[in-house]
Amino acid sequence: MATSRPARRNNTDPESTRREILQAALEVLAQDGPESLSVAEVARRAGVNRGTAYQHFPTREDLAHATASWVSDRIYQEFYGDFEQLSETNEVYPADLALARLSDFAMNNPELSRAWLFDVMSTQGTVTDKFWKRYVEELGEFARSGYGREDIDVEVFAFITLASALLWPIWVGAHAKSTKARDKMQQRFVDEMMRLVLFGSLVPERHANLVKRFSKGGK
Amino acid sequence: MATSRPARRNNTDPESTRREILQAALEVLAQDGPESLSVAEVARRAGVNRGTAYQHFPTREDLAHATASWVSDRIYQEFYGDFEQLSETNEVYPADLALARLSDFAMNNPELSRAWLFDVMSTQGTVTDKFWKRYVEELGEFARSGYGREDIDVEVFAFITLASALLWPIWVGAHAKSTKARDKMQQRFVDEMMRLVLFGSLVPERHANLVKRFSKGGK
DNA sequence: GCTATAGTCAACAATGCTGTCTATTACCTC
DNA sequence: GAGGTAATAGACAGCATTGTTGACTATAGC
């Protein structure tokens, strides 16, 4: 009964198929958020049979979790992977380079940024994010190194910088179309952030009471 | 042919029905994002017949847009509505109060915050957001008033503060369960943000080159 | 009091997605 | 060449969602 059409195999390497599915899932995730991630759409976009997707990820939830975890790994790799060896020689990564690197990453990986932000916004809350932990850790070392102020609340500061750096390119992407305009917007972000961490935004002389209240952690 | 059950009218005021639908839509939107906003789910949550929802909003897209616009209005009202008169007498709203107010708003309106953030993250990009415009405007006045530094890039700074202030409670909500813990986290955010805008995060003496580069806008 | 109409509701058809299953083809290794 | 693995095609029931339509009801205007 050879009624059914030939079932050609496009790919013989299961690992690459898996990656393609995850990549497609990332795209969908970045576009619509985790709640509207559909196996059918992912399979379609990956150019893969729906059954194949179900072979790799038995259920929609499994695919969602696998994708989230894959995103976390990829961000970590992209960000820290290729200079693991550097951090052994160099004690502290210079502030301006670190910021430029972060901003650059966000600008060049809007999908990963979006996916990460969606994850943050998901009510579950991923505490076990490798990237986040490492980022906070390095910021802590920086604060203790003498280059950064010691009274920083590291977690909060890490959150502020990360959240705004990753969200900025998305905001920009929606408002500025051309590559040139986007580059300019990235520069503006880095400059303003540098300005902020160097000088703050208030004129101290006009805020004597606040200066007093927030100096040396006195309440 | 009275086979069909009586179609009782629970509500005679269309405006209130509309509001209830929008409120339910906001809840769904805040939970799952705009892409997975379904009329059926909204109607169910609003305790209203699906057909009624379609009467008020002919299509899913219409409901989504109406909700987004309603969110924008509500944020504006909640934030600026009840002290419109104050701003006429008072020239500049003090920095610490403004920040506390923003943080407070975000902590007490996580749904509106989430909805706003989802809107920011939507690829469309809402340039016409009343709240955003007003916020940037006031920050600009502050920068020019002498209380704030003049070299601030107002739009970028506004984005950084808004994005992190609105996203923070969501992040916190996922990590801290009790009300007490959340209050503490809010305080941490306000303190760190104040510390940041007052003093920055770098030790200037250790970054002489950066200080030079970013002073007076010299490149 | 009667009727027109706006507001609401229940039911319907069409579509899409999920999860599962079977039959089939291609490739790789032994 | 045999046997296992990876992938495809197709079909199925169950369910949710989208729009549409026709029927019902409360209220306002006459």
At B154-192, the pLDDT tens digits run 999 999 999 999 999 999 886 777 889 999 999 999 999
- Which burial class, exposed, middle or buried, applies to A47 when counting CB atoms under 10 A from its CB (0-12, 13-18, 19+)? exposed
> Region B144-152: what's the mean pLDDT?
93
pLDDT, residue A173, reads: 81
CA distance A147 to B114: 35
Q: Which of A152, A201, A219 to mutate to test the interface with B (most CBs of B within 10 A)?
A: A201
pLDDT band at A125 (very low <50, low <70, confident <90, very high): low
More confident site: A42 or A205? A42
Q: Do A210 and B114 make contact, defined as CB atoms within 8 angstroms?
A: no
pLDDT band at B209 (very low <50, low <70, confident <90, very high): confident
> Region A104-120: what's the mean pLDDT?
92
pLDDT, residue B2, reads: 31
pLDDT tens-digit series, residues B99-145: 999 999 999 999 999 999 998 888 665 566 888 999 999 999 999 99
pTM given for the model: 0.88
pLDDT, residue B172, reads: 87
> Region A140-167: what's the mean pLDDT?
95
Nucleotides of C under 7 A from a protein CB: 6-11, 16-28
pLDDT band at A112 (very low <50, low <70, confident <90, very high): very high
pLDDT band at A154 (very low <50, low <70, confident <90, very high): very high
More confident site: A2 or B30? B30
A9 sits within 7 Å of strand C by its CB: yes
Nearest by CB: A211 against B35, B170, B198 = B198
pLDDT tens-digit series, residues B45-88: 999 999 999 999 999 999 999 999 999 899 999 888 766 555 55
Phi, psi of B202 (to 5 degrees): -105, 155
Q: Are A108 and A172 in contact (CB under 8 A)?
A: no
Q: With CA atoms as reference, report the closest residue to B160 among A139, A129, A98, A159.
A: A159
Nearest by CB: B197 against A95, A120, A201 = A201
Q: Do A124 and B157 make contact, defined as CB atoms within 8 angstroms?
A: no
Q: With CA atoms as reference, report the closest residue to B199 among B141, B135, B149, B142.
A: B149
How many CA atoms lie less than 13 Å away from B198 in the CB half-sphere?
26
For A131, the token pair is 């990237």
Question: What is the CB neighbour count within 10 angstroms for residue B93?
Answer: 17
Kindly state the helix (H) or strand (E) to which residue A199 belongs, with its residue range: helix A179-199
B52 sits within 7 Å of strand C by its CB: yes
Q: With CA atoms as reference, report the closest residue to B48 among B32, B67, B25, B30.
A: B25
Q: Which of B147, B202, B215 to mutate to test the interface with A (most CBs of A within 10 A)?
A: B202
Q: At what angle do helices A95-108 and A130-144 cross, to 10 degrees?
A: 160
CA of B164 to C1' of D15 (A): 40
CA distance B198 to A209: 11
B200 sits within 7 Å of strand C by its CB: no
pLDDT, residue B83, reads: 61
pLDDT at residue A57 greater than cutoff 70 = yes
Q: Do A120 and B167 make contact, defined as CB atoms within 8 angstroms?
A: yes
Q: Do A202 and B206 make contact, defined as CB atoms within 8 angstroms?
A: no
pLDDT, residue B154, reads: 97
Nearest by CB: B197 against A124, A192, A202 = A202
More confident site: A11 or A39? A39
Nearest by CB: B196 against A127, A157, A210 = A157
pLDDT tens-digit series, residues A184-204: 999 999 999 999 999 999 998
> Region B5-16: what's the mean pLDDT?
58
pLDDT, residue B192, reads: 97
pLDDT, residue A119, reads: 87
pLDDT band at B200 (very low <50, low <70, confident <90, very high): very high
pLDDT tens-digit series, residues A10-20: 566 778 899 99
CA distance B78 to B109: 9
Phi, psi of B182 (to 5 degrees): -65, -40
Tokens 């899913």 map to which residue?
A: B60
What CA–CA distances, in Å, run from B24 to B40, B47, B67, B72, B170? 11, 9, 10, 16, 19
pLDDT band at B7 (very low <50, low <70, confident <90, very high): very low
Q: Do A118 and B121 make contact, defined as CB atoms within 8 angstroms?
A: yes
Q: Which of B201, B202, B207, B215 to mutate to test the interface with A (most CBs of A within 10 A)?
A: B201
Q: With CA atoms as reference, report the closest residue to B158 among A68, A167, A204.
A: A167
